[in-house]
């Protein structure tokens, strides 16, 4: 059975759940999930986990994402993107590149953002998009978000292309809406490509159409193992005896480790055996010892 991670390049016009259905059907895998929903108008990086890979999602979900976006000035829509009904319009012809760049600075760094009505966020147990589809608008509290990058690329008439890196839960279409309002001419998202999700990049992705055409053979060419999918974590290779300790939920010490690759700031460690199989994900504990930045590793997610 095929197992591991595929970085799917999602096409426009389908949902993230549609991608899962295609992968299940074509690759004949029962357990499939994805990390980080992409709206139907968006394309690009959609990490998909198969088999035991879905158990590793908690170590991958809350990572920054980078987008290549196009904002169209002059029109406000109810969905904040090009798929929505027009609510208001203004002439954006007087807006210059410098004005756009200046407006963008207000939405860089730590910001507060009101989630759009057409979103999966829940209020009183119901998703906002469910209320929106029934014509109901409710008050939403602004949530903290971080925009670590907001880079202007070009302006062609009302269309502004930019690159942005945002925290989990930050809506790029809301950035477009809010920037348009700050400029006084409205705005909405008209194109979106996710080029990076955490450590997963568009360069390592596989188009969904290629999976449909090539099946398992095409998927295997791009398949990441359970351990390689956790490239955001430190890595420890351990002796055979350590597997028994991990199987029993016991910590492993530095004497059990034959190779260690540290990622500073990562609290978790992916623990492999000598053949590269993922044994567990563990937590670093204790003070530095014998050249390691910890005393031992306590298993958190065992993969047996």
Domains and CATH numbers, the chain: 4-62+199-228 (3.30.2350.10), 65-192 (3.30.2350.10), 233-302 (2.30.130.10)
Other residues' Cβ atoms within 10 Å of the Cβ of residue 63 = 17
Catalytic residues: 39
pLDDT tens per residue across all 304 residues of the chain: 899 999 999 999 999 999 999 999 999 999 999 999 999 999 999 999 999 999 999 999 899 999 999 999 999 999 999 999 999 999 999 999 999 999 999 999 999 999 888 777 777 777 877 877 888 788 888 999 999 999 999 999 999 999 999 999 999 999 999 999 999 999 999 999 999 999 999 999 999 999 999 999 999 999 999 999 999 999 999 999 999 999 999 999 999 999 999 998 888 999 999 999 999 999 999 999 999 999 999 999 999 8
Q: State the number of CA atoms in the 13 A half-sphere of 111 facing the CB.
A: 25
With CA atoms as reference, report the closest residue to 164 among 181, 147, 177, 180.
147
d(CA 84, CA 72): 13
Which tokens in the block code for residue 25? 């059907």
Helix/strand/coil percentages in the chain, nearest 5: 25, 40, 35
Strands 187-197 and 65-73: antiparallel
With CA atoms as reference, report the closest residue to 7 among 251, 231, 208.
208
């Amino acid at each position: 059975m095929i197992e591991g991670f595929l970085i799917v390049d999602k096409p426009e016009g389908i949902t993230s759940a549609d991608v899962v259905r295609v992968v299940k059907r074509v690759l004949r895998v029962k357990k499939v999930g994805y990390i980080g929903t992409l709206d139907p108008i968006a394309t690009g990086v959609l990490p998909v986990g198969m088999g035991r890979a879905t158990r590793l999602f908690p170590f991958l979900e809350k990572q920054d994402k980078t987008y290549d976006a196009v904002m169209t000035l002059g029109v406000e829509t109810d969905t904040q993107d090009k798929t929505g009904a027009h609510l208001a319009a203004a002439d954006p012809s007087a807006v210059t590149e410098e004005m756009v760049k200046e407006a963008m600075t207000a939405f860089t760094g730590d910001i507060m953002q009101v989630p759009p009505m057409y979103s999966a966020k829940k209020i009183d147990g119901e998703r906002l998009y469910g209320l929106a589809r029934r014509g109901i608008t409710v008050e939403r509290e602004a949530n903290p978000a971080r925009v670590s990058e907001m880079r202007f690329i070009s302006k062609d008439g009302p269309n502004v292309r930019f690159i942005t890196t945002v925290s989990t839960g930050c809506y790029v279409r809301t950035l477009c809406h809010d920037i348009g309002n700050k400029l006084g001419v409205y705005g909405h998202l008209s194109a979106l490509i996710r080029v990076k999700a955490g450590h997963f990049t568009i360069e390592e992705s596989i188009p969904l159409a290629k999976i449909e055409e090539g099946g398992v053979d095409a998927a295997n060419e791009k398949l990441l193992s359970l351990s390689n999918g956790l490239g955001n974590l430190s890595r420890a290779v351990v002796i055979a005896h350590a597997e028994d300790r991990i199987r029993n939920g016991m910590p492993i010490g530095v004497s059990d480790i034959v190779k260690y690759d540290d990622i500073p700031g990562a609290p978790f460690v992916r623990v492999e055996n000598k053949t590269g199989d993922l044994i567990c994900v563990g937590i670093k504990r204790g003070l530095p010892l014998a050249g390691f930045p910890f005393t031992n590793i306590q298993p958190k997610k065992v993969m047996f």
